[in-house]
Amino acid sequence: MTTTPTSTRPAARRTRGLQASRTRIALLLLVPMLLVLAAVAGYPLLRTIYLSFTEYNILQDAAPKWIGLGNYWFTTPEGVGLGVLQIPEWWQSVWNTVKFTLGSVVLETVLGLAFALIINSKIRGKGLLRTAILVPWAIPTVVSAQMWNWMYNDSFGIISQWGQKLGLLQTGESFLSNPDTALAALIAVDVWKTTPFMALLLLAGLQTIPSDMYEAADVDGAAPWTQFWRLTLPLLTPALLVALIFRTLDALRVFDMPFIVKGNAPETITMSIYARQEMILNSQFGFGSAISVLIFLIIMVFTAIYVTSLRVKFD
Amino acid sequence: MNSKNPTVRAVTLILFWVVVAIVLFYVLFPFYWALKTSFTGPSRMSSEALQWFPTHATWQNFRDVFAGQPFGRNLFNSVAVATGTVLLSLLLSLLAAYALGKFRFQGKSILMYVILAVSVFPQIAVLSGLYTMIQSFNLYNTWGGLILSYMIFTLPFTVWTLTAFVREIPTELEEAAYVDGASPLQTLFQVLLPVMTPALVTTGLLAFINAWNEYLFALTFTSDNTAKTVPVAIANFTGASQYENPFGQIMAASVIVTIPLIILVLVFQRNIVSGLTAGAVKG
């Protein structure tokens, strides 16, 4: 930090005293924020982890009863698996979430990149386009879920009508009511809502690429397609990675939209919806907490990959 | 678009505009459809649901939303909760950002790592712990319970963005205040705060939008309309009878809560774009 020359002792002591008091002030300034964060994040997380090792029906039991790893893995003498990791519904929700994440993140990245390239081009009207793509982003998730719910409605929905005209759907059927297409229908909603965010992040990345690089490529006679693969894409990789990881983390914990549109339906239940169903609807706080802890671990593994692979710096 | 041939250029230009038109249609159509539906009266809903333009536009649904549903109360709850959340998190993070941006002390980067980790906490991971805590503090079904629980996602974000901003403020400003004998709090509120207004507006606006849109906690920590916010209300709208299709009212309510957001976003779009990307690109 500060190197103190040995010849000026009083000055050094004064500097050290000043430094100590500055540290004290910094701590005082941080205390309120840290207390609140400990109360709303630290304590509840520890409490959830503790509850995951207990049996606790919030409506019936007076206090949580310690059962060790029983919520995660427990086989009855009859050979029935009752732990989360042995229950097919959990693995169904994991599988649904993985499919949802892969589908939505890949589509959002491709579409978002296309939007960003269009807005970044030297064409008139790009301001209008940039403003327009902010609309889906500004719409609350609940509202966008209900808007699409209406468009997917089996008898009055415009998308169901298109699907029926194209012969993709039977009369009175919708993409949501058909279990084979329900998850894809939800992915479409997420793509619509989140592609703008992706496009804005990528646009910021595109704008950091110096234009003289493209001029040099033009002089060398590189075709636009070559310029995209050899110049734009490599230089965009950092921004692309950040955006990808942000979206992956969001998609892995998705709750609102699938829950509003499809509730707890098995074909679209996500990990978060499953956890809330066990915890709140079935009052199984111990078992539900175990599911929450598993989700937390999955998210933290992804975050660790993010922090290490991008070497995030803070100072 | 570099081609010298005018025909090729014209064709490229037309193709480009076709693509732009498709993008615009894709992005705006669902909102248009909601708007159209909100102006279709309940009696005509089944006959006109699939028409592209309303033939008998009416304000009926907008009146029904406030007359038949406790929607006014839900709006009031949402405004109170979101405003409370923004004020509390801005105050806490302003103090913290000053410390993190201008003071040197050990363990600062560990602290920043912890805050980053909290920002990616899945809300579901703290749900059971928060639920029991909120119940034992008697905060269940209150604004206070929601405001407190919303700190988990607003605080990391506001601390992070404000710290980045404080760091950019020239140190001379702070040193001058110190020489004049100002206390740290005076320095923060009288010297740094005026410079920070644009950052506070952007950060506050984004935190407001996040709090306004929150659904999981609002659904889980409320039981009736004393604290129920707009997202929960819109997700659970029911018609007068179970056979009535309340989509007209749902769309009217959706339009009511979305239009102010769209206006805010359009007015502040430059700040929002830079606020969003600063947090993300710098990591």
Q: Which residues of A touch B231 (CB under 8 A)?
A: 140-143, 256
The rounded percent of chain A whose pLDDT value lies above 70 is 93
Q: What is the mean pLDDT of residues A65-82?
A: 89
The answer to whether the CB atoms of A218 and B115 lie below 8 A apart is: no
Q: How far does the CA of residue B258 sit from the closest CA of chain A (Å)?
A: 6
pLDDT-based confidence at residue A314 (cuts at 50, 70, 90): very low
> Band of the pLDDT at A315, cuts 50, 70, 90?
very low
Tokens of A97: 């979430």
Size of interface A-B (CB pairs under 8 A): 286
Over range A109-122, report the average pLDDT: 89
Using a CB-CB distance cutoff of 8 angstroms, which residues of chain B are in contact with residue A174?
none
Residues 107-136 of A with CB under 8 A from B: 115, 118, 121-123, 125, 129-136
Cα–Cα dist B176/B181, whole Å: 9
Contact assignment for B16 to A156 by CB distance below 8 Å:
no
Chain A residues touching B258 at Cβ < 8 A: 138-140, 143
Best mutation site among B65, B128, B238 for testing chain A: the one with the most A CBs within 10 Å?
B128
In sequence order, what are the beta bridge partners of A54? A66
Interface test with A, best of B74, B124, B262 (most A CBs within 10 A): B124
d(CA A34, CA A281): 32
The pLDDT, as a whole number, for residue A208 is: 84
Domains along the sequence of chain B with CATH: 6-61 (no CATH), 69-236 (1.10.3720.10)
The predicted-structure confidence for A173-223, as pLDDT tens digits, reads as follows 889 988 899 999 999 999 999 998 899 889 888 888 888 888 888 888 888
For residue A164, is it within any domain?
yes
Asked if residue A5 lies in contact with residue A12, where contact means CB atoms within 8 angstroms, the answer is yes
For residue A4, is it within any domain? no
For B138, phi then psi, to 5°, come to 60, 35
Partners of B20 on chain A (C-beta within 8 Å) are 118, 123, 125, 129
Half-sphere exposure of B216 (CA within 13 A, CB side): 29
Considering only CB atoms, which chain A residues are within 8 Å of B262? 134-135, 138-139
**Residue A235, pLDDT score:** 87
Position A57 in a domain:
no
- Cβ A132–B27 below 8 Å, yes or no? yes
Q: Which residues of B touch A144 (CB under 8 A)?
A: 30
* Contact between residue B157 and residue B207 where contact means Cβ atoms under 8 Å apart: yes
- ipTM field: 0.86
pLDDT of residue A19 exceeding 60 = yes
The pLDDT, as a whole number, for residue B242 is: 52
| Residues on chain A touching B184 (C-beta within 8 angstroms) | 25, 29
- CATH, residue A116: 1.10.3720.10
Name the nearest CA neighbour of B228 among B66, B75, B67, B82: B75
Q: How far apart are CA B231 and CA B219, in angstroms?
A: 9
- Quote the percentage of chain B above a pLDDT of 90: 41
- Asked whether B209 and B85 are in contact (CB, 8 A), the reply is no
CB distance A145–B159 less than 8 Å? no
With cut-offs at 50, 70 and 90, classify the pLDDT of residue B240: low
Residue B155: CB partners within 8 Å, gap ≥ 6? A33, A36, A37, A40, B89, B92, B93, B115, B118
Cα–Cα dist B266/B31, whole Å: 15
Dist. CA B33–CA B49, nearest whole Å: 10
* B-proximal residues of A, 285-304, CB under 8 Å: 285, 288-289, 292-293, 295-296, 299-300, 303
Beta bridge partners of residue A55, listed in sequence order: A65
Region A123-135 average pLDDT: 80
Euclidean distance between CA atoms A60 and A91, whole angstroms:
28
HSE-up of residue B236 (Cα within 13 Å, Cβ side): 16
- By CA distance, what is B230's nearest residue in A? A142
Tokens of A166: 């194209």
Q: What average pLDDT does the structure give for chain B? A: 86
Q: What pLDDT does A177 receive?
A: 87
User: Nearest Cα to B90, choosing from A40, A36, A44?
Assistant: A36
- At A57, is the secondary structure helix, strand, or coil? strand
Identify all chain B residues contacting A275, using CB atoms and an 8 Å cutoff.
Answer: 124, 127
- CB-based burial label for A171 (10 Å; 0-12, 13-18, 19+): exposed
Q: Give the integer Cα–Cα distance in Å for A229 and A231.
A: 6
CB-CB neighbours of A216 under 10 Å: 12
Residues of B in contact with A288 (CB under 8 A): 127-128
Residue A143 is nearest to which of B96, B106, B258, comparing CB atoms?
Answer: B258
Domain that holds residue A103: 87-283
Residue A240 has pLDDT above 90, yes or no: no
The reply to whether residue B34 touches residue A303, judged by beta carbons under 8 angstroms, is no
Split at pLDDT 50, 70, 90, the class of A1 is very low
* pLDDT at position B156: 93
Picking from B1, B29, B90, B34, the residue whose alpha carbon sits closest to that of residue A149 is B34
Please tell me the predicted confidence (pLDDT) of residue B30: 93
CB contact under 8 A, A147 and B130: no
Please indicate if any CB of chain B lies within 8 Å of the CB of A65.
Answer: no
Phi-psi group of A311: left, alpha or beta (phi > 0 → left; psi -120 to 50 → alpha; rest → beta):
left
Which chain A residues have a beta carbon less than 8 Å from that of B152? Answer: 37, 40-41
In chain A, the residue whose alpha carbon lies closest to the alpha carbon of B147 is A40
Within a domain: residue A72? Answer: no
Set of chain A residues whose Cβ sits within 8 Å of the Cβ of B112 = 314
For residues A160 and A154, the answer to whether their CB atoms sit within 8 Å is yes
Within-domain flag for A47 = no
Per-residue confidence at A288, pLDDT binned at 50, 70, 90? very high
Average pLDDT over residues B138-154: 95
Q: How many helices (H) and strands (E) does chain A have?
A: 14, 2
Q: Which residues fall within 8 angstroms of residue B272, CB to CB, at 6 or more apart?
A: A134, B202, B205, B206, B265
Among candidates B124, B159, B235 on the partner chain, residue whose Cβ is nearest the Cβ of A142: B235
Categorize the per-residue pLDDT at B237 as very low, low, confident or very high, splitting at 50, 70 and 90.
confident
| Inter-chain touch B129–A242, beta carbons under 8 Å | no
For position A79, what pLDDT does the model report?
A: 82
Where are the alpha helices (H) located in A133-232, listed in sequence order?
Answer: 134-138, 141-151, 158-165, 182-206, 211-219, 224-227
pLDDT score of A21: 84
Q: Is the pLDDT of residue A165 over 90?
A: no
What is the reported pTM?
0.88
Q: Which of A143, A195, A202, A219 to mutate to test the interface with B (most CBs of B within 10 A)?
A: A143
List the single residue in A140, A200, A292 with the smallest CB-CB distance to B212. A140
Q: What is the mean pLDDT of residues B130-142?
A: 93
SS (H, E, C) chain B: CCCCCHHHHHHHHHHHHHHHHHHHHHHHHHHHHHHHHHCCCHHHHHHHCCCCCCCCCCCHHHHHHHHHCCHHHHHHHHHHHHHHHHHHHHHHHHHHHHHHHHCCCCCHHHHHHHHHHHHCCCHHHHHHHHHHHHHHCCCCCCHHHHHHHHHHHHHHHHHHHHHHHHHHCCHHHHHHHHHCCCCHHHHHHHHHHHHHHHHHHHHHHHHHHHHHHCCHHHHHCCCCCCCCCHHHHHHCCCCCCCCCCCHHHHHHHHHHHHHHHHHHHHHCHHHHHHHHHHHHHCC
Q: Which two tokens stand for residue B176?
A: 């001058």
- What chain B residue is nearest to A313 in terms of C-alpha separation? B283
Q: Does some domain include residue A28? A: no
Q: Does A152 touch chain B (CB under 8 A)?
A: no
The count of domains in chain A is 1
| Residue A298 tokens, joined | 């999955």
Closest Cα in chain B, distance from residue A220 (Å): 14
CA dist list (Å): A257 to A60, A269, A313: 31, 11, 34
Residue A50 inside a domain? The answer is no
**Is A100's pLDDT higher than 90?**
yes
Kindly state whether residue A124 falls inside one of the protein's structural domains: yes
